[in-house]
Structure 1
Amino acid sequence: GGTGAAGGHPTGQNPPSGAAIYYWLKSPNQTVSLDFLDAKGALIRSFTSAQDPIVARDSVRADSLRTARADSLRRAGVRADSTVRSETRSEEGAGGGDGPRRAPPPPRVPNKAGLNTFAWNLRYPDASTFENMILWAGGTQGPVAVPGTYSVRLRVAGTPHTQTFRLLKDPRSKATQFDIQEQFSFLLAIRNRTSQANDAVKLIRSVKSQLADRRKKIPAAQQAAFATAATRLETELSNVEQQIYQVRNQSGQDPLNYPIRLNNKIAALSGVAASTEARPTNQAREVFRLLSAELDKELARVSAATRTALPEVNRELRAAGLMEIVPATTEASAATPR
C-alpha cells in the first residue's frame, strides 16, 4: 500500500516484511550489529551499521566520474548550470551502467539516536555470485527460514543483548512442518551447488587474470616456455568456464540467444522448488541429481587443471623471479588493494 502522497485516498503504510527488530539507542553513530541465530544458537546471518566496503569504493568511484565529466564539460565551454543539468540527466539514465553488475549489498543496520527498526527478510545467506553475472529465470537468494524459534543478538559498541522470537507458519498453508523442512533442505542444497558453480567461475577468472598479468612481465628469454604452459592451462579452464556459465551473455536479453549453462540451470531449479510451500517433487530431485553430476565433472576438470598444468606455469614464474599464480575465488575488483 501507498501513503496517498501522490493524490487519491490516503492509505496506511504497510509494515516491513519479515522479522521486525526494534531497539533504542541513546546516542547516534554507534557501531551496531544484528546477528540472527537458529534454535541451536548457530549463526544464520549478520548485519552491521558499517558501510559495505564495495559500496564505499563504488561511491568514491562515482564521485570521481561525476567530477571528471563536469571538468570535461567546463573545458568544452559549457556553462556551470548546463553542467549540472547534464550531470543530473546522466545520473537519472545511467542505471548503474558505469560500474559492474553486482548483487545488491546487505541492508545496513540503522544507528540513529532514539527508536530504530531493522527488518530481516527471513532468508539464509544468498549463493555466491560474480560481477556481471546474467541468469535467466534463476536467482541466488537464500532459502526462507522454516517456522520455529530463533533469536536475535544486538551488539552496541561490543555489548550484546539477545532476544528470542518465533516464526509462525502461514495459517493458510496446508504444508506440514516436515514438508517445509524438506523444501528448505532441498533449497539449501541448490543454493550450495549454485555457489560451487559460481565459485568455480571466479577461481577460473582469477587464474586467467593472473596469467594475463604475468604475460606482461615474463622476460623475453622465457616467454616461449611460459606461453606453452600458460596456454595449456588457460585453454582447459576456459573450456570448463563455458560449460558452467554462458560467457557470451552481455545483457539481460542475451540468454534468449545463447543457451543457459549449468549454474543457470541449477539456480533456476530453486525458483521451481520454492514456488509453493510443499516438499520437493521426485522430478525436481532427479533434475538436481543430474545437474549436480554434470557440475561434479566440471569441478573435477578444474581441480585436475590446477593440479597438473598450474605447477608447470609456476615453475616458469619462479625461474623468472615472478610471483606464482594462486587460485582464489576473490574477484580482482573486490580484492583489497596492495
Structure 2
Amino acid sequence: MKTIPANEGMNRFAWDLRYDDPIQIPGAFYSGTGPKGPLALPGDYQVKLTVGGKSQTAPLHLVTDPRTKGQESALQKQSTLATQVNNRISQLHQAVNEIRNLRSQIQSLHKRFGDDQRLKPALDAADALDHKMSEVEQKLIQVNMKGSEANLAFPNMLNERFDTFSHVIEAGDTEPTKPQLDVFQLLSSQLEEQLKKWAQLKNEDVPKVSELIKQANLPALLISEAKKSE
C-alpha cells in the first residue's frame, strides 16, 4: 500500500508501480538509485482518497505487457523473490539504524560527561559496547561510503550487495535463475549471522551497559523503533 502526501493545497501523486520501499538508512550513498520496493504484478488494485472523514475509491487495473504474455508465472516468482529481498533489506537497514542511533547516544554521553572521572567505569563499558556494535555495522554496510562513487575505492558490504542484487533480479520479465536463488540464500545467511550478533548485543550487552549508565545517573540508552519509508 502506498500513502500519498496530505499537505495543505493541491497534492499530486504518481505511482511508480512499486510497493513500499524498504526501511531506509538516512544519508546512505549508493552507486545507483538505491533500494526500491518490489514491482506490482498485473492485476486489480484500488485507489482510495479520504478527506474530512469521507472516502472515495476507484478501481485500477494493471495489464501485462503484451510482449511478455504467458509469463505470468515467471513474474509471480520474480515478485516473490523481490519481496523477500525487500524484507531482508529492511531488516538490514533497521539494524544499522539502531546501531547508529545507539552509537550516537554514546558519543553524546562522552561530549557531555567525558571529563567526569567518576563516570569513567560506565563510559568505558559504553565504549566496549560501541566497539562491538561497530564491528557488526561494518559487516552490514560500507561505512566509508561518503559519495556515490566510493564503491570504486571500497569493497561492497551486505547492504551494497543486496541493493545491486535487488535491481538485477528485476532486470527482465523472467523468473529467477538458480544462480540468483543461490545468491539470495548466500546473502541471507550472511545477513542472518550479523543479525544474530546484533540481537545478542541488544538482549545481553545493551541492558547491562544501560544499567551501569543509569546507576551513574546518566541518560539511559534507548533503541529506536523502525520507521517505514514514505
Same fold (TM over 0.5): yes
Residues of 2 paired with 1:222 and 1:300: CA distance?
34
- Are 1:260 and 2:156 counterparts? yes
In structure 1, the partner of 2:137 is 241
In structure 1, the partner of 2:202 is 306
- Are 1:326 and 2:226 counterparts? no
Q: 1:126 to 1:243 in 2, by over 3 A?
A: same
Matched letter for residue 265 of structure 1:
R
3-state SS of paired residue (2:3) = strand
Query: Does the Cα contact within 8 Å between 1:206 and 1:330 map onto a contact in 2?
Result: no
In structure 2, the partner of 1:150 is 45
- Structure 1: tracts of 5 or more residues without a match: 1-43, 52-108, 112-116, 332-338
1:115-137 superposed Cα distances (whole Å, 9 cap, x missing partner): xx643221100112122211235
Q: Choose which of 188, 207, 214 in structure 2 pairs with 1:292.
A: 188
Q: Choose which of 131, 147, 168 in structure 1 pairs with 2:63.
A: 168
Q: 1:121 to 1:138 in 2, by over 3 A?
A: closer
Query: Does the Cα contact within 8 Å between 1:187 and 1:273 map onto a contact in 2?
Result: yes
Question: Which has the larger Rg?
Answer: 1
- Are 1:192 and 2:87 counterparts? yes
Q: Choose which of 200, 212, 226 in structure 1 pairs with 2:107.
A: 212
Q: 1:110 to 1:239 in 2, by over 3 A?
A: same
In structure 2, the partner of 1:105 is none
3-state SS of paired residue (1:260) = coil
Q: CA RMSD in A?
A: 2.0
3-state SS of paired residue (2:224) = coil
3-state SS of paired residue (1:197) = helix
In structure 1, the partner of 2:170 is 274
Q: After superposition, where does 1:87-166 map in structure 2 within 5 Å?
A: 110-111=10-11, 118-137=13-32, 139-166=34-61
Report deviation, 1:329: 4.7
Which structure carries more relative contact order (alpha carbon 8 Å, separation 6+)?
2
Report deviation, 1:311: 2.0
Report deviation, 1:138: 6.6
Query: Does the Cα contact within 8 Å between 1:138 and 1:265 map onto a contact in 2?
Result: no
Q: 1:138 to 1:301 in 2, by over 3 A?
A: farther
Report deviation, 1:272: 0.9
Q: Compare the two structures and name the one with the higher helix fraction.
A: 2
Count of residues in Structure 1 that have an aligned counterpart in Structure 2: 226
- What's the TM-score once normalised by structure 2's chain length? 0.91
